[in-house]
């Protein structure tokens, strides 16, 4: 794995976890997002479905083509999505790539992938997508993978409902810090905690609720909570920035057992991200890291 200019190298939210600390979860899986879940048991299987205001044809294109997958899952997807072929999922800013093999396809309806000893199945219907992910080795791995899938499926819905046909650009901000997933989640959501690093007013609530934030540099962020996967990841839409999406999350540090990686990913479809806003977000994440370093419990 090559290194990049990101402060702490790590794995991004991905469908197939590696057998490494990165990507592992820290919380029991619960019904915390628009992706409803059934799991038997959490250490072996994840089952989710996501409501999407889109046709079956649109959902199929988003789940079964490289261009479609790059609009909601990996930052870049390379290769031909055909049975027996290998597709590479890339997160260039983070210096991470992961091969996955296409193992099954029922055109227009269902596609299956395998990687890292796990199997993923996506089934599309008009208005919803159903996901089954099997072969996860531990409850922590399953919980972390489930949280990542909740965010990814929320981004899939946002892409098709707001930006279908546009192409996504993703900007990542990453910092290692001494904290827990639970503590970081408080700083991602609670009004007082957000006010210590990102906002002057507002908080982030449950999935599908409105969000109204006043940012420290004077800008506004209004939209909807796309996903709140407590106590881990959150994703919100950002109306003032072209209905973009901002994801806040943590991952285990690959270098220190007492640390986690704070990560923010800002997805923009069909337009370039503001350079000034990108710089402000990077500075804000550094403030949060310094704050958590000084007081790792929220």
**Are residue 182 and residue 289 in the same domain, yes or no?**
yes
Q: What's residue 34's pLDDT?
A: 53
Beta carbons of 100 and 84 less than 8 angstroms apart: no
C-alpha torsion 220→154→113→90, nearest 10: 0
Which of 125, 126, 81 lies closest to 104 in space, CA to CA? 81
Given a cut of 60, whether residue 136 has pLDDT beyond it is yes
Beta carbons of 182 and 27 less than 8 angstroms apart: yes
pLDDT, tens digit, 9 for 90 and up, residues 151-167: 999 999 999 999 999 99
Who has greater pLDDT, 225 or 14?
A: 225
**Are residue 200 and residue 283 in the same domain, yes or no?**
yes
Given a cut of 70, whether residue 144 has pLDDT beyond it is yes
What's the whole-number mean pLDDT along residues 22-30? Answer: 24
What whole-number percentage of the chain has pLDDT above 70?
84
Q: Which domain holds residue 44?
A: 35-162
How far apart are alpha carbons 19 and 230 in whole angstroms?
23
Residue 126 to residues 102, 217, 270, 275: CA-CA distances in angstroms?
Answer: 23, 42, 25, 38
Which of 33, 1, 30, 14 lies closest to 113 in space, CA to CA? 14
Among the candidates 162, 178, 209, a domain finishes at 162
**Angle (CA) 216 171 257, round 5°:** 85
Q: What's residue 137's pLDDT?
A: 82
Q: Rounded to two decimals, what is the model's pTM?
A: 0.86
Beta carbons of 213 and 220 less than 8 angstroms apart: yes
* Weakest mean pLDDT among 22-31, 138-147, 150-159: 22-31
**Are residue 75 and residue 127 in the same domain, yes or no?**
yes
Strand partners, 214: 201, 220
- Would you say how long the chain is, in residues? 298
Q: Indicate the DSSP class of residue 298.
A: -
Centre a 10 Å sphere on the Cβ of residue 15 and count the other Cβ atoms it contains: 22
Q: How confident is the model at residue 36 (pLDDT cuts 50, 70, 90)?
A: low
pLDDT, tens digit, 9 for 90 and up, residues 244-268: 999 999 887 878 888 889 999 999 9
Among the candidates 121, 145, 162, a domain finishes at 162
Given a cut of 80, whether residue 24 has pLDDT beyond it is no
C-alpha torsion 23→86→152→52, nearest 10: -160
Among the candidates 130, 162, 194, a domain finishes at 162
How far apart are alpha carbons 243 and 23 in whole angstroms?
28
Q: How confident is the model at residue 127 (pLDDT cuts 50, 70, 90)?
A: very high
pLDDT, tens digit, 9 for 90 and up, residues 113-122: 999 889 999 9
How far apart are alpha carbons 271 and 126 in whole angstroms?
28
* Weakest mean pLDDT among 35-39, 166-170, 285-289: 35-39
Q: Indicate the DSSP class of residue 118.
A: E
Q: How confident is the model at residue 139 (pLDDT cuts 50, 70, 90)?
A: confident
**Are residue 51 and residue 149 in the same domain, yes or no?**
yes
- CATH number, domain of 47, equals 3.30.530.20
What's the whole-number mean pLDDT along residues 223-238? Answer: 95
Give the residue ranges of DSSP H helices in 163-202: 181-189, 191-194
Q: How many folded domains does the chain comprise?
A: 2
Kindly state whether residue 8 falls inside one of the protein's structural domains. no
**Angle (CA) 272 171 158, round 5°:** 75
Kindly state whether residue 5 falls inside one of the protein's structural domains. no
Q: What's residue 4's pLDDT?
A: 35
**Are residue 139 and residue 212 in the same domain, yes or no?**
no
């Amino acid at each position: 794995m090559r290194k990049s200019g990101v402060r702490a190298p790590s794995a991004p939210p991905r469908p197939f976890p590696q057998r490494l600390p990165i990507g592992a979860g820290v919380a029991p899986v619960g019904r915390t997002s628009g992706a409803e879940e059934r799991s038997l048991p959490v250490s072996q299987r994840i089952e989710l479905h996501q409501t999407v205001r889109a046709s079956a044809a649109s959902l199929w294109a988003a789940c079964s083509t490289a261009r479609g997958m790059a609009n909601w899952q990996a930052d870049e997807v390379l290769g031909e999505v055909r049975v027996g072929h290998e597709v590479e999922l890339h997160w260039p800013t983070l210096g991470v790539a992961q091969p996955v093999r296409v193992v099954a396809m029922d055109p227009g309806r269902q596609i299956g992938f395998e990687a890292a000893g796990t199997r993923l199945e996506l089934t599309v219907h008009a208005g919803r997508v159903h996901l089954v992910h099997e072969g996860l080795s531990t409850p922590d791995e399953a919980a972390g993978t489930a949280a990542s899938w909740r965010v990814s499926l929320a981004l899939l819905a946002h892409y098709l409902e707001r930006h279908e046909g546009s192409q996504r650009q993703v900007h990542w901000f990453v910092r290692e810090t001494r904290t827990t997933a639970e503590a970081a989640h408080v700083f991602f959501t609670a009004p007082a905690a957000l006010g210590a690093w990102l906002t002057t007013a507002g908080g982030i609530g449950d999935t599908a609720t409105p969000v109204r934030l006043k940012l420290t540099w004077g800008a506004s962020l209004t939209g909807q909570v796309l996903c709140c996967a407590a106590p881990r990841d959150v994703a919100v839409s950002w109306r003032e920035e072209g209905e973009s999406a901002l994801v806040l999350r943590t991952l285990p540090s690959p270098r220190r057992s007492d640390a986690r990686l704070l990560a923010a990913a800002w997805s923009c479809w069909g337009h370039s991200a503001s350079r000034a806003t990108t710089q402000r977000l990077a500075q804000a994440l550094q403030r949060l890291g310094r704050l958590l370093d000084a007081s790792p419990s929220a």
